[in-house]
Amino acid sequence: MRVTVTVDRRREIADPEGEVVKRALADLGHSGVADVRMDRVIHMEVDGDDPEAVRSEVEEMCRKLLANPVLEDFKVEIGE
């Protein structure tokens, strides 16, 4: 089953990588960029026929490894 996990840094947490990209864009003449957040998207193929069981397993993966629960939130999308 195709799974997409989006891991976002919480808004109240600074995003130094996003700030570097924002400054670099301004240096390249793109001064209209007000904010940049560098989040992650993870694509996986996971064995299983039950979407809810796969979702539960992937959410466990996120809590244990893929996302930092102190700094980040995650969203799991099950594809076809």
DSSP the chain: -EEEEEEEE-TTS--HHHHHHHHHHHHTT-TT-------EEEEEE---S-HHHHHHHHHHHIIIIIS-TTTEEEEEEE--
User: Is the pLDDT at 80 greater than 80, yes or no?
Assistant: no
How many domains does the chain fold into? 1
**What confidence tens digit (pLDDT) does each residue in 35-78 have?**
999 999 999 999 999 999 999 999 999 999 999 999 999 999 99
pLDDT of residue 73: 97
Question: Residue 50 belongs to what domain range?
Answer: 2-78
pLDDT of residue 24: 97
pLDDT of residue 64: 97
Here the CATH number for the domain that contains residue 6 is: 3.30.1280.10
